[in-house]
Structure 1
């Protein structure tokens, strides 16, 4: 796998064109799984691990990599399956999610494939609520399952989801006024739950969509019915990585439509913050915040709601 990510920096041109690249890997059988290359920092043979007493059963140890200490999780155990096997015979995919770095132990890494987000689909209906899939796709006739890493991390190392009292006190909407409305788009049910809980604590009425395509269809239906989305919603908060249509493409479509291009848009993602700051300007979003900090999200939403009411 040496060099498999050597040209990852060149792949930024895919973003904004509704395209992505998946790193394909295996756990403990023939099934193929995928992860967005932009979440991947490095792929390497599993290094020596140090066991941490009383750590979560999914965390099989920590590794010292490039002057840092990184928790290593067994991806098989993390998704409710059996262990991927002897770490000495496995690979580690080093990833960055929600401003934190962690490694996932997998049995084997295959290759990188270039795809269009339109080829990435939500998990089939009827798969239940306990699965760890955020999307599925097909590569050369084989089903590829894209794992909901945010769900794994929320179970292994839960993030604080409660707004600080001082932030809540200063951000809560005036109950004497009509509740502000916010549209959110995110393919992770964990992320939708987190954002909805945060906004509802502020007195905000939330409309949630499962991906960018659903959100765009919803907005266009509003326009067709004579409703201006930018007047109905105080803002839209969109994830970037979503099946069918990513957040960059969604933002571009909104900005190119004169009937909704005034809608305030915040991109909310676990992708690299430095990279996204430049993409915010490219696609015309108003702001970018990294997942998931309830205080930051609450403050941003509060600022926007107050600004929109001043204009009224």
Structure 2
């Protein structure tokens, strides 16, 4: 197990080619789950946990890992299952989400599987625990569920979505000098993330067109462009990076290759922060990258499209 992630740093070339690698794991049952390897920092046998008074019911305890104190979230309990009891035989998957390091308690960790985003599909209607799924795929003829970790984290620590009123005022001043199309297309597979973005955009007095992945976003853009100039219909695209069927990097690259779309302003928005994303922004031609979810940074990124 200690060597399962030794080569993660060599896998970054997959990003931008509509490919990813999933680390598969199990909770209390036979169902398999997956998490993008690029978000995983480490996998460990569960260390000793210390209970904290008044902590959220999903937090099993805190652990001291590599000199840091990390909250350990009982993932099985978080998706509606029973609390994990056999702690000593469990593992923690340490991952980066929304600028913080999180540890997720799981029963077992299996292997890393190289996948194409086209094989990652939106969850079917009526699927079990669908409220906590962003996608599903099939590995070895077995369904693998990809959880909406952002929804779980939002339940534990809700995000302050308040935005400074001055951002909207500056956009309105810019509009006096040059007309602004007050409609934005957003693409995100997380229901929680979509709602956060929708509310933020609405607070800036923009209309939202919302889709659940890059493929749907690109098809919508092509459909709109066939009806008239895309620049008269929307002012920008705000896209998540990790999405079923087509990721945000590939979506951006497709937009830049299409002569009817190539000048659209594109903001990439991801729960995974870090300098690597900045390099990929330049590689695929996005205008900006922002990590989820800081309302001030989000608002300023939108504003910059009209004021710079």
Q: TM-score, normalised by structure 2?
A: 0.95
Pair 1:219-2:221 in alignment: yes
Which residue is 2:183 aligned to? 181
Equivalent runs, 1:5-154 vs 2, <5 Å = 5-127=5-127, 131-154=131-154
Q: Secondary structure at the match of 1:6?
A: coil
Bigger shift: residues 83-92 or 107-116: 83-92
Counterpart Cα distance in 1 of 2:68 and 2:290: 25
Which residue is 1:4 aligned to? 4
Contact 2:167-2:303 at 8 Å conserved across structures: no
Q: Secondary structure at the match of 1:236?
A: strand
Counterpart Cα distance in 1 of 2:69 and 2:200: 31
Which residue is 1:295 aligned to? 296
Which residue is 2:255 aligned to? 254
Contact 1:173-1:204 at 8 Å conserved across structures: no
Counterpart Cα distance in 2 of 1:222 and 1:303: 24
Counterpart Cα distance in 2 of 1:174 and 1:16: 34
Contact 1:180-1:305 at 8 Å conserved across structures: no
Contact 1:32-1:143 at 8 Å conserved across structures: yes
Which residue is 1:310 aligned to? none
Q: Secondary structure at the match of 1:16?
A: coil
In structure 2, list runs of 5 or more residues that go unmatched.
Answer: none
Counterpart Cα distance in 1 of 2:15 and 2:187: 18
Contact 1:180-1:203 at 8 Å conserved across structures: yes
- How far did 1:232 drift? 2.2
Q: Secondary structure at the match of 1:101?
A: strand
Which residue is 1:208 aligned to? 210
Closer, same or farther: CA 37–129 of 1 in aligned 2, 3 Å:
closer
Contact 1:280-1:286 at 8 Å conserved across structures: yes
> How many matched pairs?
306
- How far did 1:130 drift? 6.1
Q: CA RMSD in A?
A: 1.8
Counterpart Cα distance in 2 of 1:128 and 1:167: 41
In structure 1, list runs of 5 or more residues that go unmatched.
Answer: 308-312
Q: Secondary structure at the match of 2:11?
A: helix
- How far did 1:223 drift? 1.9
Greater than 4 Å deviation, 4+ residue runs:
165-179
Render the CA deviation track for 1:168-190: whole Å, top value 9, x for unaligned: 55456789877611111101110
Q: Secondary structure at the match of 1:54?
A: coil
Counterpart Cα distance in 1 of 2:175 and 2:114: 49
